[in-house]
Structure 1
């Protein structure tokens, strides 16, 4: 089957729209006709060469939404025509998966980052036979893709697929980090560092979970204004204000009970730990090369603080994504305020706008014929 995909052929090269061939469909897989895909900072890490996985050339993208076009012989719970959102892959049989924690799957890294199936086979091929790596076992920057049933979340026919792709990664990570990772107590205080898509999803989740003090920290006033609209009770521009003094002022000198860092910047990650109250918990979730240095006694043990790792929000996508959609319908999780739409051919512009901060969450519309009677406004 011939398809069109945005291929990254070399580190820090632009996406190239190319004709590829889909490989063999396995019995537990489906072919998905892509409708739309969000762009995530993890995609940018691969494109610009800061991430070494998967091997290039590759078709990346991992916030896809589309319609099932073909099903393998062993597929039981999905049929042709189903609308689906795609999230991460997991094996389904290891202890982590069996105990309801697929983000702790023993095979998570090779399944999602290896670029090939478990048997080493590829999904995409160039005209000359050159294999092309996949990503998250979905590679959503394509007109069609092959993926496993474990990647899929079925959504109702009335759900607009042009909007919901980012629920599969960025918004899932922010939402789940709060709901599943931190599990904040009602009336507690939380600080969210970085108000991009992940951070703002975490902020909205904190409001849903009943945090009474929600502090958004960023260096861009425009994003802090958005944070206020979405539920922040306080905002801090850490470039122009003293972060420690402001948080002490807001919390009567106690500090916050929880913090989330989405920046991946060493100094900011350390700050997200330093502002914790006694017994506080910090979750640094950015995909970044920078590290954090702290003293295990004075920074953690002496104050009973914790730093926790949370992958993909610690979420079961098949449960969390329908929940987020329901919260969206109820007006509690208005993630649509964070997105801008781009045509598939404008993927490089969408990436540039994301990198510059002009767009919080770009969404590529791959199938412009989907719901043509409900036209979108495209960013250019």
Structure 2
């Protein structure tokens, strides 16, 4: 079928809405008519060449919509089902076998390769191959080819056009708290960065009944939103030494720290704010892959600190997305407060507004 997709022609180029041809679903694949798709930092990082992906290509990895056709062997979803689309995984490696798909041994190949395993992409323009299969979906389009493994059937009443970000950004922030760090009730957590990932972590820390939820953010409007969503304290990193500001709130240091900034100086200050046996979770994607930070020669062993990277919030989307939606239905996880919808025709304006901080999380509707 012919569809419209936001094609990136080369590194750094803008998104261009283009008519492209979408192949029929192969075995194990489904075609989803997109209702909404979030713009994630990873989309922009790839577009700007900070992460690998072939061009010309179609990005987008926070899609949601309605299944309109299925390939052979698909049994868990059918035509007419509402789904969220998350990251892809191989279902064959040791990590997938232990229900840890976020750490799939073949994660890069399955999510950044730009093609199916047989080398085809499923998308062409004027007879020329267009890279697709980004995170197993390439959902910045009116329709997307996805895989049975990375679509999640939605419960009745789920807000279809808004749930796409649960497949990546919101899942990552919430999962960092609920899965990766397993933040305990009554504990203290500091979260650097009040973007959609950081604020999703705030929502999850509220669910976990953390005693102190400290948000570090330079923009006043985002600090205000963090407070509205449940942060107990907000810190302006420009107001003084960050670790000192945090220890004025928690003199013995925090139990957990979450970094969404990937900025070396911020990470170093978060480490300095941790208390005994504290844990730092790193979620940010640095623009410079060679970026480094100092942990201090004796600090981690003397204090028993743990530093760990976190991918996709250690989530299995098939169980975690329904869990978040159940919390939302109970009024305990109001992720919709993070989202602004805009039409797909305004994709470049939406990206610019999000980068300027005028909008927290954009979901585009075809």
TM over 0.5: yes
Say whether 1:78 aligns with 2:77: yes
Say whether 1:264 aligns with 2:255: no
**Match for residue 277 of structure 1?**
275
Say whether 1:343 aligns with 2:312: no
Say whether 1:192 aligns with 2:198: no
**Match for residue 63 of structure 1?**
62
1: CA distance between counterparts of 2:159 and 2:188?
34
CA contact (8 A) 1:19 1:127 kept: no
Displacement of 1:24 in angstroms is 4.3
**Match for residue 39 of structure 1?**
39
2: CA distance between counterparts of 1:93 and 1:50?
28
CA contact (8 A) 1:267 1:292 kept: no
Q: Provide the aligned length of Structure 1 versus Structure 2.
A: 364
2: CA distance between counterparts of 1:77 and 1:256?
43
2: CA distance between counterparts of 1:234 and 1:131?
47
Displacement of 1:289 in angstroms is 3.3
1: CA distance between counterparts of 2:295 and 2:233?
29
Displacement of 1:40 in angstroms is 0.3
What SS class does the counterpart of residue 27 from structure 2 fall into?
Answer: coil
Segment drifting more, 224-233 vs 159-168:
159-168
What SS class does the counterpart of residue 239 from structure 1 fall into?
Answer: helix
Once the two structures are superposed, residues 75-106 of structure 1 have per-residue CA deviations (whole angstroms, 9 ceiling, x without a partner) of 11111000000000011122111111111111
What SS class does the counterpart of residue 278 from structure 1 fall into?
Answer: strand
**Match for residue 377 of structure 1?**
none
Displacement of 1:296 in angstroms is 5.8
2: CA distance between counterparts of 1:133 and 1:171?
23
Displacement of 1:292 in angstroms is 3.1
1: CA distance between counterparts of 2:131 and 2:295?
44
What SS class does the counterpart of residue 134 from structure 2 fall into?
Answer: coil
Within a 5 Å distance, the mapping from 1:295-314 to structure 2 comes to 295=295, 297-314=297-314
2: CA distance between counterparts of 1:297 and 1:305?
12
Segment drifting more, 241-250 vs 223-232:
241-250
What SS class does the counterpart of residue 132 from structure 1 fall into?
Answer: coil
Which stretches in structure 1 are left out of the alignment for 5+ residues? 367-380
Displacement of 1:327 in angstroms is 1.0
2: CA distance between counterparts of 1:134 and 1:196?
26
Aligned-residue CA RMSD (Å): 1.2
What SS class does the counterpart of residue 146 from structure 1 fall into?
Answer: strand
**Match for residue 167 of structure 2?**
168
Change in Cα spacing, 1:63 to 1:295, as seen in structure 2 (3 Å) is: closer
**Match for residue 241 of structure 2?**
242
**Match for residue 26 of structure 2?**
26
1: CA distance between counterparts of 2:296 and 2:114?
37
**Match for residue 96 of structure 2?**
97
2: CA distance between counterparts of 1:358 and 1:295?
34
**Match for residue 316 of structure 1?**
316
Displacement of 1:295 in angstroms is 4.2
What SS class does the counterpart of residue 147 from structure 1 fall into?
Answer: strand
Once the two structures are superposed, residues 262-284 of structure 1 have per-residue CA deviations (whole angstroms, 9 ceiling, x without a partner) of 01111112112111111100011
What SS class does the counterpart of residue 268 from structure 2 fall into?
Answer: helix
1: CA distance between counterparts of 2:269 and 2:93?
36
1: CA distance between counterparts of 2:69 and 2:168?
24
2: CA distance between counterparts of 1:133 and 1:145?
9
**Match for residue 326 of structure 2?**
326
**Match for residue 211 of structure 1?**
210
1: CA distance between counterparts of 2:337 and 2:50?
29
CA contact (8 A) 1:54 1:134 kept: no
CA contact (8 A) 1:6 1:141 kept: yes
CA contact (8 A) 1:203 1:214 kept: yes
1: CA distance between counterparts of 2:113 and 2:18?
22
Say whether 1:88 aligns with 2:87: yes
Displacement of 1:246 in angstroms is 1.9
TM-score (norm 2): 0.97
What SS class does the counterpart of residue 354 from structure 2 fall into?
Answer: helix
Segment drifting more, 190-199 vs 92-101:
92-101
Structure 1 moving runs of 4+ over 3 Å? none
